[in-house]
Amino acid sequence: MATVTSSRPYHIIVFGASGFTGQFVVEEVARCAAEGPGGCLKWAVAGRSRPRLEDVLSQAAQRLSMPELRTDIEIIVADVSIEESLAMMCQQGLVVLNCVGPYRFYGEPVVKACIENGAHCIDICGEPQFLERMQLEYHSKAMDKGVYVIGSCGFDSIPADMGILYTQKQFKGTLTAVESFLTISTGPEGGSGHDATWQSAVYGFADSKSLRQLRKKFGHKPLPVVGARVKKRGSVFFSKEIEQYAIPFVGSDPSVVRRTQRFLYEEEHQSPVLYSAYVGVGGLFSVVKLLCGGLLFWFMVKFSLGRKLLTMIEDTCFSIMFFGEGYSEGKDPSQGQPNAKICTQVMGAEPGYVATPATMVQAAITLLHELHSLPRRGGVYTPGAAFSKTSLIDRLNNHGVKFLVRSYP
């Protein structure tokens, strides 16, 4: 079977390039072509329909004023239901950016094909059950092949996962607990959800029972609690930190962060951080607006009403505030209450179709440039586990996803 080699014709293959998110990923790859190895990123697009892929490249060429995209970018026809086509695709690239979801239905054949044919795989999945099942079933196989499978490299869940690592690195001492608050705003019109977060929430509810059963198969022991325990919040509460009502975040972020913290504890012997994630929803009336806005966005995406309608949310941006506590340097975490706090922030443009392509593409470029800084020889990892020793945060800062320290008394 094939292994990862630098002799393949493409650094990156965007699979599912004609899908809604895939089109934005194609444009982001084109923008970042000069950041590839040797200053030239060799890439291709892949999907079921050659005519649709041709249309995507033509559209990107027009939007980016890059006419060469119509002729210089190769097209690979591959179908997630045809194993041979996936194998041929994976044999041609170093990294496959898998944009074909929902991953619970279409993700596993791509992971399997990447491992068997020696291509690294990066996705933007926000479905905890799929992500954790891939780790359970394919981690050892990926290690044996020297292949990295890195899930949730979009808005779900790079801002949260790398945000926790950033907070840990900025904290001088032992960080023991972090609460995060996500807010999404659309300028003067107020806030709404986006499709990736909305689907993550739906799948989170649907998979909660099977996810608990899956986690038992890992046989993990509970992570140790360092310092004082954090009091759990209610299902709806007023947050003094962000001065609005908030609800628990039911997407993939808590699952991904927990897996990263376990990896860092078991492999790097770092003190684990307790993590709780919430979503700010404004006033009580905003809860209704949030639901209506999320449903409207879902309708727009599912029925492909086009970019013109989506310009309605051009001014959308996200912010995740991280409120951490712990023990200052020299203070024993086993003695007394935490005595130090920190507040950091990760912020960026529209989560689903601006931030997600940026985080996905920068994850791929980081992998291409800094393979030596990733753990072991391969395996199935979270973004934080894979990229904790790389320059990914610096790269994201240069591409519109900003990591900041807001207060550290």
Q: Three-state SS across the chain?
A: CCCCCCCCCEEEEEECCCCHHHHHHHHHHHHCHHHCHHHCCCEEEEECCHHHHHHHHHHHHHHHCCCCHHHHCEEEECCCCCHHHHHHHHCCEEEEEECCCCHHHHHHHHHHHHHHHCCEEEECCCCHHHHHHHHHHHHHHHHHHCCEEECCCECCEHHHHHHHHHHHHHCCEEEEEEEEEEEEECHHHCCCCCHHHHHHHHHHHHCHHHHHHHHHHHCCCCCCCCCCCCCCCCCCEEECCCCEEEEECCCCHHHHHHHHHHHHHHHHCCCCCEEEEEEEEECHHHHHHHHHHHHHHHHHHHCCCCHHHHHHHCCCEEEEEEEEEEEECCCCCCCCCCCEEEEEEEEEECHHHHHHHHHHHHHHHHHHHCHHHCCCCCEEECHHHHHCCCCHHHHHHCCCCEEEEEECC
**Higher model confidence: residue 226 or residue 49?**
49
Q: Is residue 336 part of a domain?
A: yes
CATH number of the domain within which 326 lies: 3.30.360
Residue 382 has pLDDT above 70, yes or no: yes
More confident residue, 75 or 190: 75
Banded pLDDT at 289 (limits 50, 70, 90): low
Q: Given this model, what pLDDT does residue 196 score?
A: 42
Flag the least confident range among 50-54, 142-146, 181-185, 385-389.
181-185
Looking at residue 314, its pLDDT comes to 60
**pTM over cut 0.85:** yes
Q: Is the pLDDT confidence value at 27 over 50?
A: yes
Residue pair 346/319 in contact (Cβ under 8 Å)? The answer is yes
- Alpha-carbon gap, residue 45 to 102, rounded angstroms: 19
Count of CB atoms situated within 10 Å of the CB of 158: 31
182 part of a folded domain: yes
Average pLDDT of the chain?
88
- Band (pLDDT 50/70/90 cuts) for residue 401 is very high
Residue 242 has pLDDT above 70, yes or no: yes
Residue 52 lies in a domain: no
Residue 100 lies in a domain: no
Supply the pLDDT for residue 202: 57
Q: Is residue 376 part of a domain?
A: no
pLDDT for 201:
52
* Residue 389: inside a domain: no
Task: Name the residue with tokens 């309708």.
Answer: 299
The pLDDT of residue 3 is 55
- Domain that includes residue 264, residue range: 158-351+401-406
pLDDT in tens, 302-321: 444 444 444 445 678 999 99
The share of the chain scoring above pLDDT 90, in percent, equals: 70
Q: Which of 110-124, 125-139, 203-217 has the lowest mean pLDDT?
A: 203-217
- Number of structural domains in the chain: 1
Task: State yes or no: pLDDT of 348 exceeds 90.
Answer: yes
| Residue 9 included in any domain | no
Residue 22 within any structural domain of the chain: no
